[in-house]
Amino acid sequence: MTSSDTPLRVAIILIGNELLSGKIQDENGHYATRRLRALGASVTRVSIIPDVQADIVDEVQRCLRSNDVVITSGGVGPTHDDITLECIAEALGVDCYLEPQLEALINRYFGDRVTPAHMRMATIPRGSALLEAGENTWPIVHTESVYVLPGVPEIFRAKFEALAERLRRGQWYLRSIYLNVDEGAIAALLLELERDHGVSIGSYPKWRGTDYRVRVTVEARSPDQVNAAIAEAAQQLDPTVIVRVDDPLGTTD
């Protein structure tokens, strides 16, 4: 495989007691996983952890060991439980410093209302860089492979889109075949298709409200692999259980 054929491995860390207590329903993890898939990335882990320093440090280090990129969400405000930036610094073995550009932005925005708590939002891990995220939001702090995003969904989405093209690598191709059959009856076939064609297969049953019982998805980095696996599935299955099949994908050079 070329580098463009190899998906970027991405971990998403959602930080906040409010997510674990059910006070807030997560939107950012779902948004990011869908967008990352569209960008050709492979999301390896989505974790939800509390506002506890040791937990954040451990999770960042764990994700960095096995991923190309780590995206965090939450814990970057001015209150006592907003400790994400200092935890990332500890995970990377660096200290924090007051970043001049962010300091100026905070002073400009809050004016004579600025407090030392506000300046916590400008105190970032040493060695960080700032990625501009548009006129209506502050820059994204990123250091090494970590991108630090806020927890507020509207701002999270805006900042994610500002860095999205940095995360694009290759493409996933997907087709589906819809069947009127029990999952257990096709389990052996699906395993065989994965093994023989190098594809990733998902099986999703439906209980009511549809004209099929199972949707089988076939994904790969090459449309040729997907088409070949779908063709073999259609050949091996009893035609009477096939409700419909997605159109073939265009082939690559």
Cβ(8)–Cβ(41) under 8 Å? yes
The DSSP H or E segment spanning 103 is helix 100-110
Tell me the CB-side half-sphere exposure of residue 228, using CA atoms within 13 A: 16
Which has the higher per-residue pLDDT, 245 or 6?
245
Of 214, 210, 217, residue with least CA distance to 181 = 214
Judged against a pLDDT cut of 60, whether residue 42 lies above it is answered with: yes
Q: What is the pLDDT of residue 111?
A: 94
Work out the mean pLDDT of the chain and round it to a whole number: 94
List beta partners, residue 124. Answer: 97
- pLDDT per position as a tens digit, 143-173: 879 999 999 999 999 999 999 999 999 999 9
Of 246, 197, 239, 196, residue with least CA distance to 217 = 246
Over range 40-56, report the average pLDDT: 97
Looking at the domain that runs over 173-245, which CATH code has it been given?
A: 3.30.1370.10
Of 176, 241, 219, residue with least CA distance to 42 = 219
- pLDDT per position as a tens digit, 19-31: 999 999 999 999 9
- For domain 3-167, the question of CATH label 3.40.50.2000 is answered with no
- pLDDT per position as a tens digit, 190-223: 999 999 999 999 999 998 888 999 999 999 999 9
Question: What are the CA-CA distances from residue 103 to residues 50, 53, 87, 116, 123 (Å)?
Answer: 27, 24, 20, 11, 8
- Dist CA 190 CA 240 (whole Å): 18
- Dist CA 89 CA 96 (whole Å): 6
Q: What is the pLDDT of residue 251?
A: 61
pLDDT category of residue 140 using cuts at 50, 70 and 90: very high
The token pair that represents 243 in the structure block: 């409700």
Task: For tokens 């925005």, name the residue.
Answer: 109
Extents of the domains making up the chain: 3-167, 173-245
Q: What is the pLDDT of residue 253?
A: 40
